[in-house]
Structures are given as structure tokens and as C-alpha cells.
Amino acid sequence: MARAPILPTNQADPTGVDRLERGAIRELARRVAQVRRAYVGAIDRFQPELAVNKRYTFRLDPAVLARVYDDLDRLTDSVFLEGGQQQLWFFDSYVGVAYLRGTAQEFANLAQQSPAYQAGRQDLANLLRSRPYQDRIALIRAREFEEMKGLSGQMKADMGRLLSDGMARGLNPREIARNLTEQAGIEERRAKRIARTEITTALRRARMDEADDAADTYGTQAKQMHMSALSPTTRAHHARRHAKLFTTDQQRAWWAKDGNSINCKCSTVTVLVDDHGKPLVPGIVERARKNYQVMKSKGKGAWTEK
């Protein structure tokens, strides 16, 4: 008799990485604040002096400008790109942890359902040493380095523009500092969105990557049962997918469009199916649907009103 897939134990956080996300958000906020302080501190390096009509003059000769902006560029890159591509802090402490966790979840789930998979993979350590897994990790690592490089570049452009514009207009140094602080708040929100998106995306990708590899290597027939977060902030069209079955290609395509992956806490569970695409353990879908009805009856969130 086929054994049932392993469903998430926390309906509001099916990926199980909410705590990891919060840690990444706090760390990114700390790094944004570090860069903000550097830009605010740089104002004094241009020797502001009060002139006429409450305007200020700044020392803006090319040598000073080049030196200060080079220092700010290096500082910003050192903050966001710490560790470089091979040991990037954001990957090693957060995204890579999520990918490993997703792989472990999928290993346990498939090993429970498929004796062939369990015999072939043997154990999680063997899976983590495999070439397919190492290749997948390398791709994720490169992706996250580009993500942090983009965040660093955007912050340098935004903060540098405000600093130079403020001095060109002769603004009070305190006003320039205030503008830089407000912009840093925007950068922090952008970083927060990256943390929420990249960490959950890594876990979901890990699960589907391993499901695809299991199909290629061991011939497992499976579909992905969508598990919505069913939390107060869940989007209605995300909740509607709960307990429905899709292929990995369909899931990847859905998450890739219309911002569906941004701030999304949904996950999937691989369910072994027969030649007709029906679950080998039919009750698993009904069990997930019951969980949906229980969460909906609590009336927390706009999705429960649909």
C-alpha cells in the first residue's frame, strides 16, 4: 500500500522558512543602515559652508568628488557583496540554507512514497554529494550574487544622486541627510522584498528540482499539490490553488508571472500519481481541502470572503 505524502504542519507557513526570512530582513536592514550612515557622513567631507540666501556651498572639485564617491562605492559593495560570489553572506546564511531545507523536505517526502527513490538515494548526505545537487547549488549561488549586486548598484545610484543633487542645489546639510535617510527607507523595503522572495523561492525550487530529478532518474510519476499559506495576507488567487495538482512546469510558470513569487509564502508537495494522473493516496487531496475549509472558516484575510 502506498504511503501518504508529507504535508506541512504549519498551514500559515507551509515553506517553514518564516523565521529564516525574518533573520535575513533584520540583517539586510542593518546593512542598509550601515550604507546610509556612510553617505550621511560623507557630507562633511565636502566642507559645507553657509553662503547667501541660506544656501550652502560645497567643495565639489573633481578630485574630491572622485575620491569620496569611490570610497562610497567600495563601502556599499563590501557591505552587500561580502564574501564574494563563492561565499556570499546572503547565500551562505539564508538562501542556501533554504535550498538545503527544501531538498531535505523533498527527500523525506519522496523517500516515504517511493521505495525505488529511497533505495537509489540511500540517504540525504548521499543526495547532497551528488553532481546534480552541486550543479543546482552553483546556479542558485550565482543568482543570489547577481541579486545582491543589483541591490548594491541601485542603492549606490539612488543615494549618490540625492547626495550630488542636494549639494548642487546648496541645500542645508541636515536636509540632505534627511533625504538620504528617507531614501534608505525605500532601499530597506526593496531589500525586505528580496529577502521574502528569494528565500521562499529557493525552498520551492529545491523541492521541484529534486522532484524533476527523481522523475528523470527513478521514473517517479508525480504532480505538485499547491499548498497556499492560508494566512491573513494571502492573495485570493493564491488561496484558490490550494490542494490542486499541477506539473512542475506549470508551477514554475505560474510563479514566474504577474509577481506571483513576490512576498509569496505558498509551497508545493510532490504527490505520486498513477498513469491517469490520480494520486496513489487519494485521501491526501481531501485532507488538504479540509485544512483549507478550517482556515477559511476562521475568516482571517480577504481571501476567506471570496
230 three-class SS: coil
Whether 1 has a pLDDT exceeding 70, the answer reads: no
Which percentage of the chain shows pLDDT scores above 90? Answer: 86
Are the beta carbons of 303 and 234 closer than 8 angstroms?
Answer: yes
Tell me the pLDDT tens digit for each residue of 201-215: 999 999 999 999 999
Report, as an integer, the average pLDDT of 94-122.
95
Q: What is the pLDDT of residues 249-258, one digit of tens each?
A: 999 999 999 9
Strand partners of residue 57: 49
Give the pLDDT of residue 141: 96
pLDDT at 94 over 70: yes
Residue 239 identity:
A
Class of residue 256 by CB neighbours under 10 A (exposed 0-12, middle 13-18, buried 19+): exposed
pLDDT tens, 13-45?
A: 899 999 999 999 999 999 999 999 999 999 999
Residue 112 pLDDT class (50, 70, 90 cuts): very high
Q: Mean pLDDT over residues 33-58, rounded?
A: 95
Q: What is the DSSP letter of 145?
A: H
Contact between 224 and 251 under an 8 Å Cβ cutoff? The reply is yes
Helices (H), 46-130: 62-80, 89-90, 96-113, 115-121, 124-129
| Domain locations in the chain as residue ranges | 18-305
Beta bridge partners of 270: 224
